[in-house]
Structure 1
Amino acid sequence: MTTSPFAFIDGALDRADALRDDPEALALLWPQGRVVLLDDDGHARADAGNRLFAPGGERIGGGPGGAIFLGLRDGAGWFAQRAATVAPAVVAAAPQRVDLRAAAAAWPAFEATVFAQARALLHWHARHHHCGGCGGELDFVRAGWLGRCRQCNSEHYPRTDQAIIVAVSDGERLLLGRQATWPARRWSVIAGFVEPGESLEQTVAREVLEETGVRVRSCRYLASQPWPFPGALMLGFLAHADADTPVAGDELEDARWFDAASVRAGLDRDWSTAADAAEAAGDDGIVLSSPISIARWLAEQWLQGQPR
């Protein structure tokens, strides 16, 4: 597989689904396995050098019963566990707390990817304690990948919310939007969640129309990215639309068309805070999404088809 141009793809574990129902095999993997420790707010524990802290199961003690089995890498097991359930002496060796976005920008791809997987699953565990059918309590089985109701025996699986993200063009310009809460001058391509009974192509047309008032005429799928904030899957498209005048919907502060020169300059400016963006862009220049995101890559894909 070629290297992905955005985060949370490269270095993915062999998820080894068959081992989730094999507690004896997991117990054998545990002592030499690695355990990713996350705080309840989703930050990963890191050592003094800000590197991922993933101690061996033998150091943590006990067995894998309270951990989620993430998968295998080179025959070694990888697990995820809440830092609050581990002995304080072990956690004390990891004084740093790292946000997933910061990890994706600075850590090796494998470490960021395994962190993303751990964060999504622990978030699901934290927010799904009861059955949606009868209200009974859930027991997590299959190494943390299945919630089973104690009362009605119904099964609950980790939730992934599908969302489209699309670079919309009228042939010469790229449609971008911005939310009021974003840093100064930050713009991005259009995105939105898939609704029940809707195809991806229908979602592209509906979301673009709702958020910008622009009518999409055709679209094609390019790539996808897990986006564990907290548990989405971004499905990336390029779309052709009419040259309608954008009108921002309820979710956006503004929506506009930008020519290739403006998008190219926006890609060259990659600052993470409003202050940096305002200082660096003394004019009215825009700043596009972080390199960790498929949003930026989609803008780059559109720009490749534009003349200089």
Structure 2
Amino acid sequence: MISPDVLTFAGSGLERCAELRRDSAKMAELLANGGQVLPIWRGKPLVQNGCDLGWVPHGHPALAHGSEALFLGLDDGIARFAQDISDWSPEAGAEAVEAGFFDGSTQFHPSLSDAYAFVELRGVMVQLSARSAELVATAKAVLHWHRSHRFCAVCGAQSTPVNAGWQRACPKCAAQHFPRTDPVVIMLIQRGNKLLMGRSHGWPEGMYSCLAGFLEPGEAIEAAVRREVAEETGVSVGDVRYVTSQPWPFPASLMMGFIGDATSDKITVDPEELDDAIWITREDMLEVMAGTHPTIKPARKGAIAYHLIASWLAGRIT
């Protein structure tokens, strides 16, 4: 097993205080009296000095284009909220958002000093404390849900946020909607002294990681592991064992990590699913994780794949 304590976003014991969400008067009191708000701009959180979240008080000019505040919970007595300010447009000449696997651009708000910037979460996630990581993962996932589920799935009318941002209500048909989390299986597939690694389309050159895929309706998680591996690489898998899980706010998934035993070697890549897949020996993987392999780059630190591989190399999972 891998302790959740070492996994980014895996939880820090935040008091989410779900019982307070329906109390609009209490929410308003918490927000007005010392509440701290995390602005998120088009999926990018506000970060201070590149290593901590950039909290601002309720009513700050940076929140002028903000959505309704989302209550995250109590952080050592401090009420934490988040607001989506995606309708704000950076000043003319500001660095544009970049396309691709990783957006390395930064955006600065005119009401804040240059110590504050909106950045790609992947680039700073391992610098955040466990509490900050849980807070931003929650904020990013729920605010993304609000932006992508503005209309009722039953009748098509525009719904409205209620319960401090943890629900949407349809004023026309009274349907109630709740934030969704997409379950994903991610698997370390072994055969003897080697691991099966794949790379998705658009990844940086040389980057390989564990295979992964979404759970389908009516499917057991172990069956999803075997199906995804077979679909993507043609490799068959026998025994499957659960290891750990990690929330993954890109945009709103729960990664469920497994180790599985392959029963075949031949790889037949589905080009629609993967760019490539290879077997990597233990010796080569040690070089990959150390950053000394000539052609293969390691999985991103902070991701569950990195910890699955590191634990396998250390003999903690088999």
Q: Same fold (TM over 0.5)?
A: yes
Q: 1:72 to 1:174 in 2, by over 3 A?
A: same
Contact 2:67 2:85 (8 Å CA) reproduced: no
Contact 1:65 1:143 (8 Å CA) reproduced: no
The alpha carbon displacement at 1:91 in A equals: 6.1
Choose from 141, 163, 177 the match for 1:156.
177
Look up the equivalent residue of 1:121 and give its one-letter code: V
The alpha carbon displacement at 1:246 in A equals: 1.2
Counterparts of 2:155 and 2:4, CA distance in 1: 45
Counterpart in the other structure of 1:262? 284
Counterpart in the other structure of 1:127? 148
Counterpart in the other structure of 2:112? 93
Counterparts of 1:130 and 1:3, CA distance in 2: 35
Counterparts of 2:164 and 2:80, CA distance in 1: 12
Note the residue ranges of structure 1 that are not aligned, 5 or more in a row.
Answer: 270-279
Counterpart in the other structure of 1:105? 126
Counterpart in the other structure of 2:217? 196
Choose from 292, 305, 314 the match for 1:295.
305
- Number of equivalenced pairs: 290
Counterparts of 2:160 and 2:233, CA distance in 1: 44
Counterparts of 2:152 and 2:59, CA distance in 1: 34
Contact 1:3 1:10 (8 Å CA) reproduced: yes
Counterpart in the other structure of 1:43? 44
Mapped pair 1:253 → 2:275: yes
Counterpart in the other structure of 2:100? none
Contact 1:247 1:254 (8 Å CA) reproduced: no
Q: 1:94 to 1:239 in 2, by over 3 A?
A: farther
What TM-score, normalized by structure 1, do the two folds share? 0.86
- SS at 2:145 equivalent: helix
Counterpart in the other structure of 2:74? 72
Counterpart in the other structure of 1:233? 254
Contact 1:50 1:98 (8 Å CA) reproduced: no
Counterparts of 1:291 and 1:58, CA distance in 2: 36
Counterparts of 2:156 and 2:69, CA distance in 1: 24
Contact 1:168 1:239 (8 Å CA) reproduced: yes
Note the residue ranges of structure 2 that are not aligned, 5 or more in a row.
Answer: 91-108
Q: Percent identity?
A: 36
Counterpart in the other structure of 1:14? 15
Counterparts of 1:221 and 1:201, CA distance in 2: 8
Question: Comparing 297-306 with 13-22, which one deviates more in the overlay?
Answer: 297-306
Counterparts of 1:185 and 1:47, CA distance in 2: 31
Q: 1:85 to 1:21 in 2, by over 3 A?
A: farther
